[in-house]
Structure 1
Amino acid sequence: MKITIDWLRQHLDFDGGVDEVVATLNRIGHEVEGVDNPAAKLAGFRIARVLTAERHPQADKLQVLSVDTGDGTPLQVVCGAPNARAGLVGVLGLPGAVVPANGMELKVSAIRGVESNGMMCSTRELELGDDHDGIIELPADAPLGTAFADYAGANDPVIDISITPNRQDCMGVRGIARDLAAAGLGTLKPLDVPVVEGHGPCAVDIRTDDPEGCPAFYGRTISGVTNGSAPEWMRRRLNAVGQRSISALVDITNYVMLDLGRPSHAYDRAKLNGAVVARKATEGETVTALNGKEYTLSASMTVIADESGVHDIAGIMGGEHSGCSDDTRDVLLEVAYFTPERIALTGQALGLTSDARSRFERGVDPAFLDDATAILTAYILDICGGTASEVVRAGEPPLATSAIAYDPARVTTLGGLNVAPDQQKAILESLGFGVAADWTVTVPSWRRDVHGSADLVEEVARIVGFDHIPSVPLPRDAGVAKPTATPLQMTERRLRRAAAAAGFHEAVTWSFISEAEAAHVGGGAWALANPISEDMKVMRPSLLPGLLSAAARNQNRGATSVRLFELGRRYLSDSERQTLALLMAGERQARGWQSGKAQGFDVFDAKRAVIDLLDAAGAPADRLQVMPVEDSAATIWHPGQSASLRLGPKTVLAEFGALHPALAKAFDVDGTVIAAQVYFDAIPAKRSSGPVRDAFTPPALQSVSRDFAFLVPETLPAGDLVRAVRGADKALITDARLFDRFAGQGVPEGHVSLAVDITLQPGDKSFTDAEIKAVSDKVIAAAAKLGAVLRG
């Protein structure tokens, strides 16, 4: 929402400047996004008179002008405008000025061999209109040498305000003025609502056949109008806030919309056929809107139509067919109330935005129909002439008001401010609320966002100023503070630290992904009905798409090694799952001076990282089983180069391995991509608040190690053998690890040799040979159950 200081003064009597207005707006909850003074763009442009105009000696279409800027020293300027002549008063851009339309800096230069000291400017070059047929012509008595910005009234700062969706009352200059007045910046001027007498009945039958979408449809005809240009003051204000001036009738409706927050529409009566009705659209009905695009409508949408068909997508955009033109002589003025929900759904379905929609879907004032009709009619009669008919009022606007029982003490208990009741009453009344003696507050018709006493507290607090709320520390119990983080949050912290310590960089990606990205990882179960964009339509079923996109961006910017992790939620059909994902791509180690080759990541890098993370999270890493990934994930992981870590056959704690080449290609990631997903919400909960380690007690006696080499079927997972060996004697065997795998000469076909090292820890006395042999026999027997044979 843009306003100018001059426009604001039409509704607000105040002496301050733009800085005071901006500070007050920010203080009361209206964020100012920027301030632009058009005068800055017109610096260096002065009013000047053409003294003489002679033909250019080297060009038929150019003239050499002698121009008086009021300082007594004429300047020579070369000009190609057809209307340049002696006696013309126009706008001269002096050397150093920058032309707003194209950013060109004016300099003293030679044009076809003749020196030129500036440029006489057209309306388009100064971005004041579309006229480019000639240079600007000002009245003969325009003061020479005066800055053109001052003369044209362009020295009027434009304030760009971000209006929150709940403040529909501030979608017009008057609503903003009301808030500023309540905040103590000046006095709100009374709104002048003219009395317009109607002459005869309305020439067009008006009714509403869709009371749910259009509860009230007011209108009147105005005959004998002349649709020329709007007054200069109106065009200047519209141009200042970014509205292109079109014609008087269109400019009037746009002006009232921006001024009072009340959209309306003017139809050319000559283009209407029969009664004009607000009704539901017929399924598949089409209309060409004012933007030149054709829209197909559904039966849930409200339209304005006559016997020939649809003319207007109600509350959003008028139709191209019945719009006003320079030839318009008779108009039908429409001032209607449309249900906000219907406008919002229609706009979303059609993908159509407009200034009218932004106001109607927030909710315009339903009690302002008569006053708006009178104000619009008066503008049209004053500017375009004509005769107005009586007003037709079809339907009933929703005028029911709400009353709220309010306790002034709530400003202290809920808002944290000490505000006297009399001051609260004055604030609420200045905002349009009615306050009875028993503190029953009546909500004005233009504030549909206020529903309860908490909303009234907010109104008082923001006008007083949120910056006046004192900072009060929360009460704290004596002694050591109790931990506030949950066990899950503590686990997240440990995992983040462990991943960072392992050399991974944390990434934070969107929880929304496209349907195509979700399809690559099995499809998403949660789709948004109203997504930000098509690329953010599905809640992610996996964290891998976000990390793959991040890896691709890093590689495109020259990164040769990518190590990323992200901690977030996956959204599955039955629940949300907290997950940590890892991704490694590119080079694990740069090219060395010996081999000259870079070393890439492999599956075992991911396995090591996952085991370390699970250990940090408190999982029993020594009891993990390596098993294949589920078949449903076959499109994610590379067959034969991936696995899962489990506690038993059903509890999956992590999956890791090389991603399927098709998945990496879909996200434009080069080379082999190694990844993992740790499902730490599946880690069994401990009774304590976090992982507890036993106190370190070094053994009194030295440990003993023994090596065993077994011939096993090549299909036997090495992890199964290690786990069986370690469990052969849980009291004495404290560790078991695989240290060699061999296949080849001396090993039968279909078998491999796996070498396992075990560690035995004596207690209060050293092992005897017999005790060590007994343990060795248990190890061989445990391995034999898996088909393993001790190598000779």
Structure 2
Amino acid sequence: MQFPESWLREFCNPPLTTAELSETLTMAGLEVEELHPAAPAFSGIVVGEILEAVQHPNADRLRVCKVDAGEHSKDGPLQIVCGAPNARAGIRVPLALVGAQLPPGDDGKPFEIKLGKLRGVESFGMLCSARELKLSEDHGGLLELSADAPVGANVRDVLKLDDHIFTIKLTPNLAHCLSVYGIARELSALTGTPLKMPTFEPVPAVHDARLPVRIEAADLCGRFSGRIVRGINPQAQTPAWMVERLERCGQRSVSALVDISNYVMFEYGRPSHIFDLDKIHDNLVVRWGRKGEQLKLLNGNTVELDESVGVIADAQSVESLAGIMGGDATAVSDDTRNVYVEAAFWWPQAVAGRSRRYNFSTDAGHRFERGVDPAQTVEHIEHLTRLIQQICGGEAGPVDDQTTQLPAREPVTLRVARAARVIGMPVTQAQCAEVFTRLGLTFTQGEGTLTVTPPTWRFDLQIEEDLIEEVIRVVGFNNLPDTPPVAPVTAHVLTENQRSTHALRHLMADLGYQETINFSFVEERWETELAGNADPIRVLNPIAAPLAVMRSSLLGSLVHVLRYNLARKASRVRVFEIGRVFMRDGSVADTDTTVANVHQPRRLAGLAFGSAQELQWGQRERAVDFFDAKGDVQALLSPLSPKFVTATHPALHPGRSARIEIDGVAVGWLGELHPRWRQAYELPQAPVLFELELDALLQRPVPAFQPIARLQSAWRDVALVAREDLGHDALMSVILDDDSALVRSAKLFDIYKPATPVAGMEANERSLAVRVELLDPEATLTDERMDAAMSALLQRLQQRLGVRLRG
């Protein structure tokens, strides 16, 4: 909400400086986001009237002007050389006298006007444009002032340039502050300064013309008011004071009728609409839209309507998007002669989110979806009518006012004792009563309680906590005492078998990965293709059309990050994310930390793309592969020993992927992106991805220390013949499954596959050399015991895996 300080002070003018006013509003919850002067500093610039403008004798584009500067030109009109195309006799413009200081330039230094000579003609000053005074970017000519501007007066006084512009950042519950009057009402309550109450004198009706209006949807429109005004002049000039106020509210001037509607919206928070009466067919109907209907809006967009959007229609077609924007068909123009002025109360829930469906927002929709006072539609129609007659003329008809149903104002009770506990300092019932009185709230008192009936303009007063907030806002947050906490502050220390997510982040950074944070809502395509999720959880009101579903995997987000980096010429990408995923699960109950039927586990996912190592001289460059990422996963899970089981995943290459298991429980996936998706997502090469359950990563076993063996180990190397498809894990699990407990460890140190067939080996077999460590911590090993252990080992391998000793 942007507004000029001078407009606010017309309604409430407390004895505060601009800085103090800003601090007061901010500390009351109306955060002043920006505060700046209406114009930069300059001096010595007055109102001058051009009496004569003749061609320069030595320059085609210059004119020699005679300018009256009032008391500043006692010796007669000043001679000014000017090159502006609109320099002509009879207009009043800003005149910078000799010695005047213009606003600072790009170098930050003010520009001083001196006596000059242009093409042989002396110039005793300078006539200024709006851009030269840094009032706007308009440099098309001189800034023309109103014809009644006092000649010789200071331009800063004439244009009220010593004003300040406030920009307030309002939370959604402060809809009653979306107007200058609403903020003044708050300021009056905060400072105790009287509020200037507006009076809306009825405009007498001079004809009895009415436009029939029918409300068919009471859940859309609670009140609808309007009147006909005939014989207006739509080409009338908007007064300078109104244009100035609109500009300082961030609204450009359009036309007199549009400016009047916008002015009342900023003044009293009342969005309204002015129809061209002659373009309306027969009557107006307030109803919900229908499937297949279309409407061309004032912004030029044509939108498709349905049953969830409110409209105002006539006998032939839809004419307006209810509470959001009018239609192009009934818009006022220079040919308009008769208008219908409308002010209505639209239910907030009937307007909320509708404009975002069509990818635009409006000031009217912003107010209606938060709540607009339904009580003063008729009074504001009178105010609009009076402004129209003052500026555009016209004859008003009677006001039509229909009410279907209005918001019920349920009483809310405040317990003074509880308010004191929540606020954290003593407050009395008298203090609370004074606060409510200053805020204009109607209330009754009981023993230790106050029951408030919210006024029509307060949609945010619904529970006791809302009233407690009002008390402390007006009493002042700066009056809260500095009270130390009563409860001890005790840090929750992780047990030895736990580690924090921050430790995982540091570990991933040590492995060369950078953290990325992505939205939890993603494209439906990612869920279908990369997660195999045909029924994802849908977002009811997505912030963007593609981000329509909740993710059940982090892989799609990482692939998107990769594409983003590749588009910016990144050649090597290592990224990871820790975040939640969302899956349907009927067993989940609704609690303070969970949502019914939605399982929300946290996961860690990583992606590696490009070369395995940074560019260097010590190693040849090669692309990252499955085993590089496997090493990173093992480092993450250490000291646990994960098992990598061949399996298929929708996002991963069927021959280069694995399911990660710990003690037989699946905890994640690892693999190269499927060639189909590498091509679909236009990637130059396939990245390697992994995704792990965060709970599995946060748990780690406590080290169990054992004494160093007093006896020496023995090693036996064996050459085994096995099928080519026999995996390392399967081989090691059988070797270490030793009932006698003599086999302490085993390591595969060589693989031999002959280029041509050899005796004792089939074509689909290979030789595996394994070093086996034997140890008995209690007794020295003998050759007989070691031979027996190796024979038992070979027998197990033969029986379980079909592995034999190489001859």
Distance 1:338 1:159 in 2: 28
Name which of structure 1's ranges 762-771 and 317-326 shifts more when overlaid on structure 2.
317-326
* Shift in Å, 1:169: 0.8
Matched residue, 1:589? 613
Matched residue, 1:757? 771
The residue identity in structure 1 corresponding to 2:636 is L
Structure 1 contact 262–372 (Cα < 8 Å) conserved: yes
Distance 2:771 2:313 in 1: 88
Matched residue, 2:654? 639
* Shift in Å, 1:142: 3.2
Structure 1 contact 701–763 (Cα < 8 Å) conserved: yes
Identity %: 33
Matched residue, 2:531? 522
Structure 1 contact 89–142 (Cα < 8 Å) conserved: no
Q: What's the CA shift string for 1:528-576, capped at 9, x where partnerless?
A: 1211113432322322233334344555666554333222222234433
Name which of structure 1's ranges 513-522 and 548-557 shifts more when overlaid on structure 2.
548-557
Where do 1:672-691 residues align within 5 Å? 672-681=686-695, 691=701
Matched residue, 2:602? 578
Matched, 1:546 2:546: no
Distance 2:57 2:751 in 1: 96
Distance 2:477 2:35 in 1: 23
Tell me the SS of whatever aligns to 2:40: helix
Matched, 1:173 2:177: no
> In structure 2, which of residues 635, 642, 646 is the aligned counterpart of residue 628 of structure 1?
646
**Structure-2 change in CA distance of 1:132 and 1:560 (3 Å):** closer
**Structure-2 change in CA distance of 1:6 and 1:129 (3 Å):** farther
Matched, 1:260 2:264: no
Matched, 1:608 2:631: yes
Name which of structure 1's ranges 572-581 and 91-100 shifts more when overlaid on structure 2.
91-100
Matched residue, 2:228? 221
Matched residue, 2:595? none
* Shift in Å, 1:19: 1.4
Matched residue, 1:305? 313
> In structure 2, which of residues 496, 505, 508 is the aligned counterpart of residue 496 of structure 1?
505
Distance 2:740 2:506 in 1: 33
Tell me the SS of whatever aligns to 2:163: coil
* Shift in Å, 1:310: 2.5
* Shift in Å, 1:47: 3.6
> In structure 2, which of residues 375, 378, 388 is the aligned counterpart of residue 370 of structure 1?
378
Matched residue, 2:621? 598
Where do 1:87-236 residues align within 5 Å? 88-92=91-95, 97=103, 120-121=127-128, 136-139=144-147, 142-144=150-152, 146=154, 148-184=155-191, 186-199=193-206, 201-227=208-234, 228-236=236-244
Tell me the SS of whatever aligns to 2:311: strand
**Structure-2 change in CA distance of 1:484 and 1:252 (3 Å):** farther
Name which of structure 1's ranges 348-357 and 435-444 shifts more when overlaid on structure 2.
348-357
Tell me the SS of whatever aligns to 1:587: coil
Tell me the SS of whatever aligns to 1:677: strand
Matched residue, 2:545? 534
* Shift in Å, 1:700: 2.3
Tell me the SS of whatever aligns to 1:180: helix
Distance 1:128 1:542 in 2: 51
> In structure 2, which of residues 444, 458, 465 is the aligned counterpart of residue 454 of structure 1?
465
Distance 1:790 1:497 in 2: 46
Structure 1 contact 98–106 (Cα < 8 Å) conserved: no
**Structure-2 change in CA distance of 1:680 and 1:224 (3 Å):** closer
Matched residue, 1:695? 705
Matched residue, 1:33? 33
Distance 2:709 2:576 in 1: 38
> In structure 2, which of residues 778, 784, 795 is the aligned counterpart of residue 770 of structure 1?
784
Structure 1 contact 95–118 (Cα < 8 Å) conserved: no
> In structure 1, which of residues 780, 785, 789 is the aligned counterpart of residue 794 of structure 2?
780
Structure 2 contact 228–340 (Cα < 8 Å) conserved: yes
Matched residue, 1:325? 333
Tell me the SS of whatever aligns to 1:40: coil
* Shift in Å, 1:522: 3.1
Distance 2:696 2:359 in 1: 43
Structure 2 contact 129–138 (Cα < 8 Å) conserved: no
**Structure-2 change in CA distance of 1:334 and 1:68 (3 Å):** closer
**Structure-2 change in CA distance of 1:559 and 1:502 (3 Å):** same
**Structure-2 change in CA distance of 1:705 and 1:61 (3 Å):** same
* Shift in Å, 1:456: 0.6
Structure 1 contact 79–119 (Cα < 8 Å) conserved: no
**Structure-2 change in CA distance of 1:696 and 1:177 (3 Å):** farther
Matched, 1:740 2:750: yes
* Shift in Å, 1:441: 1.3
TM-score (norm 2): 0.86
* Shift in Å, 1:267: 2.1
Where do 1:558-577 residues align within 5 Å? 561-574=572-585, 575-577=599-601
- The number of aligned residues is 771
Distance 1:76 1:56 in 2: 11
Distance 1:230 1:152 in 2: 16
Distance 1:269 1:344 in 2: 28
Distance 1:145 1:711 in 2: 107
Q: What's the CA shift string for 1:201-229, capped at 9, x where partnerless?
A: 34322332222211221122233433412
> In structure 2, which of residues 500, 511, 514 is the aligned counterpart of residue 505 of structure 1?
514
* Shift in Å, 1:489: 7.5
Tell me the SS of whatever aligns to 1:752: strand
Matched residue, 2:723? 713
* Shift in Å, 1:728: 2.9
* Shift in Å, 1:482: 7.4
Matched residue, 1:704? 714
TM-score (norm 1): 0.87
Tell me the SS of whatever aligns to 1:423: helix
Tell me the SS of whatever aligns to 1:588: coil
The residue identity in structure 2 corresponding to 1:374 is E
The residue identity in structure 2 corresponding to 1:510 is F
Structure 1 contact 505–565 (Cα < 8 Å) conserved: yes
Matched residue, 1:417? 425
Q: What's the CA shift string for 1:379-426, capped at 9, x where partnerless?
A: 333433443332222233415322122211122222323223222211
Name which of structure 1's ranges 778-787 and 560-569 shifts more when overlaid on structure 2.
560-569
The gaps in structure 2 that reach 5 residues or longer are: 586-598
Distance 2:603 2:30 in 1: 39
**Structure-2 change in CA distance of 1:74 and 1:306 (3 Å):** same
Structure 1 contact 726–758 (Cα < 8 Å) conserved: no
Tell me the SS of whatever aligns to 1:335: strand
Tell me the SS of whatever aligns to 2:342: strand
Matched residue, 1:81? 85
* Shift in Å, 1:122: 5.2
Distance 2:149 2:345 in 1: 48
The residue identity in structure 2 corresponding to 1:722 is M
Q: Pairwise CA RMSD of aligned residues?
A: 3.6
Tell me the SS of whatever aligns to 2:638: helix
Distance 1:110 1:657 in 2: 80
Structure 1 contact 515–523 (Cα < 8 Å) conserved: no
* Shift in Å, 1:446: 1.1
Q: What's the CA shift string for 1:204-260, capped at 9, x where partnerless?
A: 223322222112211222334334123222221011112222333322221111111
Q: What's the CA shift string for 1:151-192, capped at 9, x where partnerless?
A: 211332111112211221111111111222222273322232
The residue identity in structure 1 corresponding to 2:295 is V
Tell me the SS of whatever aligns to 2:375: helix
* Shift in Å, 1:589: 2.5
Tell me the SS of whatever aligns to 1:643: strand
* Shift in Å, 1:429: 2.1
Matched residue, 1:280? 288
Structure 1 contact 49–67 (Cα < 8 Å) conserved: yes
* Shift in Å, 1:448: 1.5
**Structure-2 change in CA distance of 1:332 and 1:482 (3 Å):** closer
Matched, 1:269 2:277: yes
* Shift in Å, 1:668: 5.8
